Structure 1
Amino acid sequence: MPLSPEAPRAAGEVLPYPFEQPPGLAQCPMYAHLRETDPVAEVRMPSGDHAYLVTRYEDVRTVLSDARFSRAATLEPGAPRLAAAPQNFKSLLNMDPPEHTRVRKLVSREFTARRVNALRPRIQEHTDALLDAMAAAGPPVDLVPTFAFQVPVTVICELLGVPFADREDFAAWSRVFLATTSVTKEEMLGAQLALRDYLASLVAAKRERPGDDLLSALVSIHDEDDDRLREEELIFLGISLLVAGHETTVNQIANSVVALLTHPEQLERLRKDPDLVAGAVEELLRLHPPGNEALLRITLEDVELGGVTIPKGSAVLPSLSSANRDRRQFDDPDVIDFDRPVNAHFAFSHGTHYCLGSGLARAELQIAVASLIRRFPTLRLAVPEEELRRPEGMLVHGIASLPVAW
């Protein structure tokens, strides 16, 4: 039964999580309710473990930046977890400093602004080719598989040096990899193993025949650098870049298009002034980020947060989407404002685990959104907004199917 935010709650009541999502892009009203009444609320995750859901901006920033909230501790035996199956490997996403600092420094040497800027013309070429194919096919089309999926997948394949022909395979494994309740524990573990084997084979191929791509550069760091990446780190870093490098952007392209098509005044403003696209992308990231919550943390000691004492060893879920709508941080937080003067949103997280690929994602989003509305000035939803559905049981937060016409 859906939770009603207006219903009275007993003191200390544990809420089932995740909350039921409304149709379209609407945020579940429970988040707004918790921000005002219970900003550090205890919830029961799909695994059955309990966690503290953090919903206010300042508290979320604390969780994301304070070393007492650990990602590495999520790998400890018996640690609380979100999904039924644990992620049985160490990657950049679940390291703490100083180990995280060492690995991220090595990767950052290759994942540079120069490399992203050099990719912009190629991103535009790929985008234009996809729009040509859409125009030739004619409306209606489902924008998710034909455009939102293809843009970032093409780019991440080129950046990492992953064969484009393998996109359907690794995309399927990625969706299972990011699931919470939509698949079985066995399927989750199987997807982890499949991705590990796939990346191990790619690493071996790059070692034999290196190319001008990021994965080849990472192999070189592993083989030659004094600080070097360990083989396991190299493989699972590749998994992290491959999965995060397309799944989040696929969902954010779809979210952004729906938001614009359901706010015609803002869409028209962007059509008339394409230079607004950077601000528009930031505002749509704030309002409709591709993930509701950041990655789970574990407290390393008792922590006082939002008037609640969180015991040592507890799971903490910082809600990015809720923090991004906190009226204490943002004026008129539910309103789209391309000219918002300060927009320190958490769509790319914050602190140690701020998204390494945020520059690439911004470039893809700006090019995809601007090119789409320029090419199809009469673009519109081909179904009522209330028929749009989000994928269920997933860490990412997008639109399952997006029929459009023009």
Structure 2
Amino acid sequence: MTAPTRTAPTPSFDFTTPEYRRDPYPFYARLRRDMPIVRINQGRRGESFYVSRYDDVMVLLKDVERFASDKRTAGHEVSWLESRLSLGVNDSMVMKDGADHRRLRTLAHKAFTPSRVAALERRIAQLSDELLAAADARGSMDMIADFALPLPVAVISDMMGVAERHRPHFHRWMKGILELDGAGWLELLTNFPNMIKLNRFLRELIAERRRNKGDDLLSALVEAEEAGDKLSFDELVASTLILLLAGHETTVNLIGNGVLALLEHPDQLGRLRAHPELVDAAVEEMLRFTSPVQLNAPRFACVDTELCGVTLRRGQAVCPILASANHDEAHFAEPERFDIGRQPNRHLAFGFGPHFCLGAPLARLEAKLAFRALLQRYSDMQLGVPRSELTWRRSQSIRGLTALPLRVRR
């Protein structure tokens, strides 16, 4: 048996270059082939390992004995500054493990039920028609600004009881937080006032729901109880932030990236038009092929252990590259082929295991209804600018277009 190596290589590229953002998948293929685990210095975040193969990503997502979501489980302390900059996310279910995670997820799930999501179908269809009607007279639209963004923002805002006048503000604040992913200290501190505004907004919103409950998801979170246990105020703030963020960001990029994938594969677009019953499978393939969430939250080694033949020390951070796992040749036949009828399709776009995305049913429903509305309404959709002019958002964790200009015809 070959002895494990003690170090992981450093790749010759990073996750911040325009070339990488335009098309990360050739880079991931090189990692899977030559460097399945790499070491990258993330500036203010320090050094982290990244794994790119499906099987190794699954180990990180499933093996809760060796890898934790909460860095404190792995021996780290959370400084006062880090706690402030995280807006309390360390108190959310995303960053918890074991019994703490199960408690928070169970309480949140009582509010985020399948029946509550299913009841939104008529509202999502109505919003889709209203947003697209505004583009009809012009014969053109920005798929992101005019449809992919306002649709999920309106849906999650309705669910959380966020008044319409507040919606542009909270999206701008949240977008700013995501764009800071991987940013340096100066940019982080420059954006700090907006983070404070978002935190204040959430606290005021929750305080109002505690005084005057309604028929919305936030009121249900306030009321959620399990064996006499309720979410504390700080846990409510953290849970609300996560649900608002996850409740629209993934869908924005799923719709935008999915439309671009269809336009770049006209045979599949034609196939979906001819067989609209394939829309569910098509959404799953968009999730796999475009991977709106590129990198999952890091896991932290709870003990000294080995992964991909590399020795990891307790406390070291390891990031699963979901997008690379979704293109792994060992698990997907012809992974670079966009196939809206792909079966089976066991992608990891929503993660796996205890931290599987709670909002996955909502994202799937919104995307299905959005694509159904687009294809029923428009007989023709074409890019409004050359493909080379499209730009991608700066975030390392998510992948989405800043704009997607289209020419459309009823």
TM norm structure 1: 0.91
Aligned counterparts, 1:56-135, within 5 A: 56-67=53-64, 68-73=66-71, 76-77=76-77, 88-89=88-89, 90-135=91-136
Q: CA RMSD in A?
A: 2.4
Deviation at 1:12, TM superposition (A): 3.3
The Cα of 1:77 is off from its aligned counterpart by 2.7
| Partner secondary structure for residue 347 of structure 2 | coil
Could you tell me which residue of structure 2 aligns to residue 363 of structure 1? 365
Report the secondary structure of 1:379's partner residue.
Answer: strand
In structure 2, the partner of 1:209 is 212
- Picking from 286, 291, 294, the partner of 2:293 is 291
Tell me, what secondary structure is at the counterpart of 2:133?
helix
> Secondary structure in 1 aligned to 2:380?
coil
Structure 1 residues 104-153: Cα deviation after superposition (integer angstroms, max 9, x where no partner): 011111211111111011100111111111113x1332111110101101
Change beyond 3 A, Cα 1:11–1:119: closer
The aligned counterpart of 2:27 is 30
Paired residue for 2:235, among 233, 236, 242?
A: 233
Q: Unaligned regions of 5+ residues in structure 1, if any?
A: 1-9
Structure 2: distance between partners of 1:24 and 1:187:
24
The residue number in structure 1 matching 2:302 is 300
Q: Please say if residues 17 and 44 of structure 1, whose CA atoms lie closer than 8 Å, have aligned partners that are also in contact.
A: no
Q: Is the 2:272–2:340 Cα contact (8 Å) retained in structure 1? A: no
Distance 1:87 1:313, change over 3 A: farther
Paired residues of 1:25 and 1:259 also in contact (CA < 8 A): no
* Aligned partner letter, 1:329: H
SS of the residue 2:295 aligns to: coil
TM-score, normalized by length of structure 2? Answer: 0.90
Is the partner of 1:391 in helix, strand or coil? Answer: coil
Task: State the alpha-carbon separation in 2 of the partners of residues 121 and 218 from structure 1.
Answer: 23
SS of the residue corresponding to residue 98 of structure 1 reads helix
Distance 2:190 2:145 in 1: 23
Calculate percent identity across the aligned residue pairs.
37
**How far is the alpha carbon of 1:307 from its aligned partner?**
1.6
The amino acid that maps onto 1:220 is E
AA aligned opposite 1:110: A
Q: 1:299–1:313: 8 Å Cα contact kept in structure 2?
A: yes
**Residues 286-308 of structure 1 deviation map (CA, whole Å, 9 limit, x = unaligned):** 01011210011211111211121
Aligned-partner SS, 1:398: coil
Partner SS state of residue 386, structure 1: helix
Could you tell me how far 1:195 is from its partner in structure 2? Answer: 2.0
> Contact 1:52 / 1:316 at 8 angstroms: preserved in 2?
yes
Distance 1:301 1:369, change over 3 A: same
Instruction: Say whether the 8 Å CA contact 2:25–2:324 is kept in structure 1.
Output: no
1:95 to 1:189, Cα distance in 2 relative to 1, 3 A: farther
- Residue 144 of structure 1 pairs with residue 144 of structure 2: yes
Match of 2:387 in 1: 385
Distance 1:393 1:104, change over 3 A: closer
For 1:101 and 1:402, how far apart are their aligned partners in 2? 39
Give the superposition deviation at 1:332.
Answer: 0.5
Q: Answer yes or no: is the 8 Å Cα contact 2:294–2:396 preserved in 1.
A: no
C-alpha deviation, 1:168, in angstroms:
1.1
Deviations 1:180-206 (CA, angstroms, capped at 9, x unpaired): 245712144333322221111111111
Deviates more, 1:182-191 or 1:341-350: 182-191
Gaps of 5+ in 2: 1-6
1:325 Cα deviation from its structure 2 partner: 0.2
Separation in 2, partners of 1:181, 1:28: 20
Alpha-carbon deviations, 1:9-51, whole Å to 9, x = none? x973365642535488633422110101110111122425111
Does the 8 A contact of 1:299 with 1:311 survive in 2? Answer: yes
> Does 2:348 match 1:351?
no
Contact 2:111 2:224 (C-alpha < 8 Å) held by counterparts: no
Give per-residue Cα distances to partners, 1:356-402, cap 9 Å, x unaligned: 01000000000111211221111111111121110124532100110
**Does the aligned pair in 2 maintain the 1:196–1:236 contact within 8 Å?**
no
User: Equivalents in 2 of 1:191, 1:225: separation in Å?
Assistant: 37
* One-letter amino acid of the counterpart of residue 29, structure 1: P
What does residue range 247-326 of structure 1 map to in structure 2 within 5 Å?
247-326=249-328
Partner in structure 2 of residue 172 of structure 1: 172
| Contact 2:322 2:348 (C-alpha < 8 Å) held by counterparts | yes
Residue range with higher mean Cα deviation, 387-396 or 86-95: 86-95
Inter-partner Cα distance in structure 1 for 2:43 and 2:252: 24
Q: 2:48·2:318 contact (CA, 8 Å) conserved in 1?
A: yes
Say which SS state the counterpart of residue 317 (structure 1) adopts.
Answer: strand
Establish whether residue 52 from structure 1 lines up as the match of residue 53 from structure 2: no
3-state SS of 1:344 partner: coil
Which residue does the alignment assign to 2:247? 245
Partner of 1:195: 198
Partner of 2:38 in structure 1?
A: 41
Q: Deviations over 1:306-340 (max 9, x none)?
A: 12111111111100000000001111011112222
Q: Decide whether the 8 Å contact of 2:390 with 2:404 is kept in 1.
A: yes
Structure 1 residues 33 and 175, CA, compared in 2 at 3 Å: closer, same or farther?
same
